[in-house]
Structure 1
Amino acid sequence: MSAPNQGRQSPPPERQTGAQLNEPTSTQPNEQGAAPSLDHAKEASEDQKSKLPSNPVHPLEKFAEEKSSKQ
């Protein structure tokens, strides 16, 4: 007869992986380089703002002028 829930028991400690032994996933979890620096964010924002027109035209502005102008 087989053991109850066969295949669900943990392997012996010498065969367990790091995750099964509760080892940390990284020795320096905050040093993964995922976030850009604050300077990079500021530069990217300035770059995007510099490409924008100073006073954009409203999509309906041309239509409103045509509608209200006397012909």
Structure 2
Amino acid sequence: MSAPNPGRQSPEPENQTEGQSGTVASNPNEQGGAPTDSSAKEASNEQKSKLPSNPEHILAASAEEKTSKK
């Protein structure tokens, strides 16, 4: 099978760079994205605990005001 545009084919596997071969992307969970120290986890949990469990919609008060019988 040939590429539609010349020069667009991937090099042979033995000639590919690490970025082309996908060795980094093959282990997405081992790329070290999340902090591992406990202070970062505690800060995250603290922020989550401050969030309301069922936040009110932005326009809920406006809709209630418009539809209420005064």
TM range (shorter): 0.3 to 0.5
Determine which structure has more spread, i.e. the larger CA radius of gyration: 1
Question: Given the two structures, how large is their TM-score scaled by the length of structure 1?
Answer: 0.40
